[in-house]
């Protein structure tokens, strides 16, 4: 474990915890957001018969870095009528809320920022910070469009947390743990041990679970799409209606923080879904490290599978974004309250009965 | 469907007074299709009144035209509805020719029809693409612009310009067609037919798109007639009214084509989806006309009938044509000099915009964009 390694190195548990929690941020999340922004532009461009960024680096892969440098240089505009403390705090909260989730996500079997037992609970709780940040941004901007965007966003995220939590609860009932590492370890072996295929236990229950798990997976995927404000649920920033929603008034690095937080969030929800349903960092076909008797290789492979699965779902999010139009705010709420929540409840009930039996 | 508004919220301690919010949408807003300012009165997110404020793109076309000779006005007509310049020139040329009472060679008429119909497709592509973008689907927008590019290339080989052509002159055309034009135009028609199906698959029948547009901004046919609404908006409400059939000008009576009308396939007749879909169907009808015109294209000289000096007799004329956005009319008064005494344009966008308030009341802010997109205004024409 990385934490134990640092504990031996520093001899101080707080310092070790801090360093091991920061590592995912620097080796994975920050580089990932840079790549994801570039990927989004490339995916959208190729879907639309264009090339996208081509000038900076090979096929424009340095474009995001160039953009970030540009954004750092920009003037940080704060209008006179903005509520300054809230205005300055909002991007920090949004940024922190979306990055903090990575602290408890296991990147491989030996690599988890903070191996706490309430992992999934922590993620759901900490993502509440994002809502607070968005509301603050909308209110403090003193702009009607921002306010409308923020109100929509808060309503949307709070509503869609319910189906997410219900599905998470279903998973907790089956597995009996909230620790994401334990959850991933349970799904080891081959892909039929993944929770979406009924989990590791063979028997009648496994085959009953399969349709329920697929339903749960679809519900949680749709609700996480809404939670990170992606099309078809990108109503808070609906460009054509609200200019760009709650971050209309932001410029420079504060805008960049919202922007990067959005991409970090996309990855975070993708890997949470992967950890719950698709085996987390587990390989679907066994490990090369076992084959060649090189056990040091396994964590690296696991890291590869983790990133690959996460990026795949981020890609699906982009794919949806550039294909689908946007729902209206009342239709969005109707989808959540009329369809997702009842189905999630029924799912929870059936799984509960089966688990008790 | 329109939402009912509660005037006062009753609580135990008495009535809670609520206040209307006034939101300015535009003139710098990504979805007002130009510099339109909409003043919205909101009750929460529900609209109680929409007041369009226009004039941000006013360029004094009508006054300007009085200082020009008749042929000199043509480049200015291009700039009225800059997405349908060929149509604007066409209408002006028809009006002045009616005033002069001159006969036009067959070939000129055919080329004019081909150009006007190509322009109609190009203009509808912009309308449909931006409509998709308004509703959040950005990819169809670029697909539409990719196809529009092919039409602009055809215009470019014809007259050198891609947006403002100055091609259709009083009594004729500025140039004959490029030798390759007929071949390239045929290539375009065969290329474009499958693209309409692609657009339908991607956008028209998309469930989210129909949810957003069906039953939104319903325009009953009586209201449409009372407000003088024309073009795809009127046809979307179910009335078969198209000047190419009802008051044929040029050589339109020689072609076989249909007038698509809104049928309420996804909701009620006259909703935003109907107005959108009428435009999609009109594109295939325009393709039919282009194909027939290319087949029948007669030989001849396109500049022979151009008068050396345009000096119409004293009198007045009103000529109207079916532009992509509706009835484009020119009312010209001549006092016998080489300059028109008065040129009045009846712009369809301007008239169609008048019905906005009627359409939007009771809908939500997001629907404003849907409705405005389905009205399909060009601010150059609204303000002139």
CA distance A196 to A65: 37
How high is the pLDDT of residue B11?
Answer: 64
Angle among Cα A175, A179, A180 to the nearest 5 degrees reads 90
- Cβ neighbours of A291 (radius 10 Å): 9
Mean pLDDT value across chain B: 85
CA distance B250 to A156: 55
Instruction: Please report, rounded to a whole number, the percentage of residues in chain B having pLDDT higher than 70.
Output: 95
Helix (H, G, I), strand (E, B) or coil at B374: helix
Yes or no: say if B84 and B324 are a contact pair by the CB < 8 Å rule.
Answer: yes
* Structure tokens belonging to residue A351: 């799984």
Helix (H, G, I), strand (E, B) or coil at B156: helix
- Cβ neighbours of A94 (radius 10 Å): 28
**Residues on chain A touching B146 (C-beta within 8 angstroms):** 49
CB-nearest to B139 from A148, A239, A323 is: A323
How high is the pLDDT of residue B331?
Answer: 92
CA distance B91 to B323: 8
Q: Which residue of A has its CA nearest to B129?
A: A325
Helix residue spans in B67-138 (DSSP H): 74-78, 85-100, 106-135
Chain B contact for A243 (CB, 8 A cutoff): yes
Q: Which among A122, A85, A76 has a CA at the least distance from the CA of A103?
A: A122
Phi first, then psi: give them for residue A75, nearest 5 degrees: -70, 140
Q: Per-residue pLDDT tens, chain A, 357 aa: give them.
A: 666 777 777 777 777 777 777 777 777 777 888 888 888 888 888 888 888 888 887 888 888 888 888 888 888 877 777 778 888 888 888 888 888 888 788 877 777 767 777 888 888 888 888 888 888 888 888 877 788 788 888 888 888 888 888 888 888 888 888 888 877 777 777 777 777 777 677 677 777 778 888 888 888 888 888 877 777 777 666 665 666 777 777 877 888 888 888 888 888 888 888 888 887 777 777 777 777 777 777 778 888 888 888 888 888 888 888 888 888 878 888 888 888 888 888 888 888 888 777
Q: How close B171 gets to chain A, by Cα (Å)? A: 41
Q: Do B137 and A325 touch (CB under 8 A)?
A: yes
Helix (H, G, I), strand (E, B) or coil at B307: coil
Sheet holding B46-53, edge to edge: B21-25, B37-43, B46-53
Interface of A with B in 34-93 (CB under 8 A): 44, 47-50
How high is the pLDDT of residue A77?
Answer: 79
Per residue in B254-276, pLDDT tens? Answer: 888 888 888 888 888 888 888 88
* Structure tokens belonging to residue B309: 């000096």
Give B202's DSSP letter. Answer: I
Q: Is the dihedral of CA B109, B114, B116, B117 positive or negative?
A: positive
How far CA B56 is from CA of A342, B34, B39, B88, B379, in Å, comes to 50, 9, 14, 21, 8
- Cβ neighbours of A148 (radius 10 Å): 25
- Cβ neighbours of B197 (radius 10 Å): 11
**Residues on chain A touching B371 (C-beta within 8 angstroms):** none
Yes or no: say if B152 and B167 are a contact pair by the CB < 8 Å rule.
Answer: no
How high is the pLDDT of residue A155?
Answer: 83
- Cβ neighbours of A176 (radius 10 Å): 11
**Residues on chain A touching B23 (C-beta within 8 angstroms):** 144-145
Q: Do B369 and A240 touch (CB under 8 A)?
A: yes
What would the mean pLDDT of B9-38 be, rounded to a whole number? 73
Yes or no: say if B356 and B52 are a contact pair by the CB < 8 Å rule.
Answer: yes
CA distance B375 to B384: 18
ipTM of the complex: 0.75
Q: Do B21 and A238 touch (CB under 8 A)?
A: no
Q: How close B212 gets to chain A, by Cα (Å)? A: 7
CA distance B354 to A291: 74
Yes or no: say if B186 and B294 are a contact pair by the CB < 8 Å rule.
Answer: yes
Q: Show the 3-state SS of A250-278.
A: CCHHHHHHHHHHHHHHHHHHHHHHHHHHC
Q: Do A323 and B208 touch (CB under 8 A)?
A: no
Q: Which residues of B touch A (CB under 8 A)?
A: 21, 23, 29-31, 45, 132-139, 142-143, 146, 202-203, 206, 208-209, 211-212, 364-369
How high is the pLDDT of residue B5?
Answer: 53
* Structure tokens belonging to residue B342: 């008065």
- Name which residue leads in pLDDT, B184 or A18: B184
**Residues on chain A touching B366 (C-beta within 8 angstroms):** 235, 238, 241, 328-329
CA distance A6 to B257: 79
Chain B contact for A339 (CB, 8 A cutoff): no
Helix residue spans in B332-364 (DSSP H): 348-353, 356-360
Q: How close A213 gets to chain B, by Cα (Å)? A: 26
CB-nearest to A239 from B30, B146, B203 is: B30
* Structure tokens belonging to residue A3: 């934490």
| pLDDT category of residue B32 using cuts at 50, 70 and 90 | confident
CA distance A127 to A97: 5
Angle among Cα B345, B346, B349 to the nearest 5 degrees reads 115
Q: Show the 3-state SS of chain A.
A: CHHHHHHHHHCCHHHHHHHHHHHHHHHHHHHHHHHHHHHHHHHHHHHCCCCCCCCCCHHHCCHHHHHHHHHHHCCCCCCCCCCHHHHHHHHHHHHHHHHHHHHHCEEECCEECCCCCCHHHHHHHHCHHHHHHHHHHHHHCCCHHHHHHHHHHHHHHHHHHHHHHHHHHHHHHHHCCCCHHHHHHHCCCEHHHCHHHCCCCCCHHHHHHHHHHHHHHHHHHHHHHHHCCCCCCCHHHCHHHHCCHHHCCCCHHHHHHHHHHHHHHHHHHHHHHHHHHCCCCCCCECCHHHHCCCCCHHHHHHHHHHHHHHHHHHHHHHHHHCCCCCCCHHHHHHHHHHHHHHHHHHHHHHHHHHHHC
Helix (H, G, I), strand (E, B) or coil at B384: coil
| pLDDT category of residue B17 using cuts at 50, 70 and 90 | low
Q: Which of B134, B139, B149 to mutate to test the interface with A (most CBs of A within 10 A)?
A: B139
Question: What are the residues whose beta carbons fall under 8 Å from the beta carbon of B363, sequence distance 6 or more?
Answer: B2, B3, B46, B47, B216, B217, B371
In chain B, what are the domains? 61-383 (1.10.645.10)
Q: Which of A48, A226, A328 to mutate to test the interface with B (most CBs of B within 10 A)?
A: A328
Q: Per this entry, what is the length of chain A? A: 357
The pairing of beta strand B168-169 with beta strand B46-53: unpaired
CA distance A56 to A65: 9
What is the phi-psi region of residue B375: left when phi exceeds 0, alpha when psi lies from -120 to 50, beta otherwise?
alpha
- The half-sphere exposure of A325 on its side-chain side, counting CA atoms within 13 A, is 29
Q: Which residue of A has its CA nearest to B204?
A: A325
Q: How close A4 gets to chain B, by Cα (Å)? A: 49
CA distance A108 to A307: 10
Q: Do A148 and B135 touch (CB under 8 A)?
A: no
What would the mean pLDDT of B152-161 be, rounded to a whole number? 89
How high is the pLDDT of residue B3?
Answer: 54
How high is the pLDDT of residue A287?
Answer: 73
CB-nearest to A241 from B137, B202, B369 is: B369
- Cβ neighbours of A9 (radius 10 Å): 11
Please report where in the chains the tokens 């994002």 appear, as a residue: A130
* Structure tokens belonging to residue A84: 């300054």
Q: Do B369 and A48 touch (CB under 8 A)?
A: no
Yes or no: say if B305 and B104 are a contact pair by the CB < 8 Å rule.
Answer: yes
């Amino acid at each position: 474990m990385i934490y134990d390694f640092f504990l031996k190195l520093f001899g101080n548990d707080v310092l070790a915890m801090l360093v091991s929690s920061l590592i995912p941020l620097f080796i994975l999340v920050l580089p990932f957001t840079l790549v994801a922004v570039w990927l989004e532009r490339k995916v959208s461009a190729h879907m639309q018969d264009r090339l996208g960024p081509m000038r900076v680096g090979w096929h424009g892969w340095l474009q995001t870095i160039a953009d970030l440098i540009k954004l750092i240089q920009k003037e940080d505009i704060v209008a006179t009528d903005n509520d300054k403390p809230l205005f300055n705090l909002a991007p920090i909260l949004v940024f922190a809320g979306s990055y903090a989730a990575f602290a408890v996500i296991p990147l491989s079997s030996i690599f988890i920022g903070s191996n706490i037992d309430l992992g999934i609970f922590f993620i759901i709780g900490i993502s509440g910070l994002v809502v607070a940040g968005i509301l603050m941004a909308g209110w403090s901007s003193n702009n009607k469009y921002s306010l409308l965007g923020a109100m929509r966003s808060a309503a949307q995220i709070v509503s869609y947390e319910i189906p997410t939590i219900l599905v998470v609860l279903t998973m907790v009932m089956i597995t009996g743990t909230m620790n994401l590492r334990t959850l991933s370890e349970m799904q080891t072996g081959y892909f039929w041990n993944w929770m979406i295929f009924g989990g590791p236990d063979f028997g009648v229950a496994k085959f009953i679970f399969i349709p329920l798990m697929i339903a749960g997976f679809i519900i949680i995927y749709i609700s996480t799409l809404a939670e990170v404000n992606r099309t078809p649920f990108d109503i808070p920033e609906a460009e054509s209606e609200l200019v760009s929603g709650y971050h209309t008034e932001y410029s420079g690095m504060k805008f960049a923080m919202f922007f990067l937080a959005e991409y970090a969030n996309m990855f975070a929800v993708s890997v949470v879904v992967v950890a719950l349903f698709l085996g987390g960092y587990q390989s679907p076909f066994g490990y090369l490290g076992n084959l060649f008797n090189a056990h040091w290789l396994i964590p690296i492979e696991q890291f590869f599978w983790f990133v690959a699965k996460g990026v795949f779902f981020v890609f699906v999010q982009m794919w949806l974004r550039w294909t689908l139009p946007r729902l209206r705010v009342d239709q969005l709420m109707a989808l959540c309250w009329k369809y997702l929540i009842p189905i999630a409840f029924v799912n929870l009930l059936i799984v509960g009965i089966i688990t008790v039996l | 469907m329109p939402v009912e508004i509660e005037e006062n919220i009753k609580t135990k301690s008495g009535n809670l007074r609520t206040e209307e919010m006034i939101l300015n949408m535009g003139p710098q807003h990504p979805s007002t299709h130009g510099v339109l300012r909409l003043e919205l009165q909101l009750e929460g997110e529900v609209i109680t009144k929409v007041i369009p404020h226009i004039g941000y793109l006013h360029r004094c076309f009508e006054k300007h035209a009085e200082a020009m000779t008749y042929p000199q006005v043509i480049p200015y007509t291009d700039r009225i509805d800059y997405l349908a310049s060929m149509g604007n020139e066409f209408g002006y040329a028809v009006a002045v020719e009616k005033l002069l009472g001159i006969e036009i060679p067959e070939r000129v008429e055919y080329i004019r029809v081909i150009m006007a119909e190509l322009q109609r497709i190009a203009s509808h592509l912009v309308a449909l693409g931006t409509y998709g973008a308004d509703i959040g689907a950005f990819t169809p927008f670029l697909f539409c612009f990719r196809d529009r590019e092919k039409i602009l290339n055809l215009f470019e080989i014809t007259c050198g310009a891609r947006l403002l052509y100055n091609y259709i002159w009083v009594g004729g055309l500025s140039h004959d067609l490029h030798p390759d034009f007929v071949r390239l135009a045929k290539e375009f028609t065969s290329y474009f037919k499958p693209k309409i199906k692609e657009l339908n698959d991607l956008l028209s029948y998309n469930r989210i798109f129909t949810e957003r547009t069906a039953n939104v901004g319903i325009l009953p046919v009586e209201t449409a007639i009372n407000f003088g609404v024309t073009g795809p908006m009127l046809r979307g409400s179910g009335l078969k009214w198209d000047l190419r059939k009802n008051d044929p000008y040029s050589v339109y009576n020689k072609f076989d084509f249909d007038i698509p009308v809104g049928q309420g396939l996804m909701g009620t007749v006259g909703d935003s989806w109907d107005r959108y879909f009428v435009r999609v169907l009109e594109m295939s009808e325009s393709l039919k006309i282009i194909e027939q015109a290319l087949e029948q294209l007669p030989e001849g000289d396109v500049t022979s009938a151009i008068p050396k000096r345009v000096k119409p007799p004293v009198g007045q004329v009103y000529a109207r044509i079916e532009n992509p956005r509706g009835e484009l009319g020119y009312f010209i008064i001549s006092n016998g000099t080489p300059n028109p005494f008065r040129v009045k344009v009846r712009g369809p966008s301007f008239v169609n915009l008048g019905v906005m308030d009627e359409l939007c009341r009771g809908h939500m802010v997001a629907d404003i964009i849907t409705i405005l997109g389905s009205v399909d205004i060009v601010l150059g024409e609204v303000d002139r």
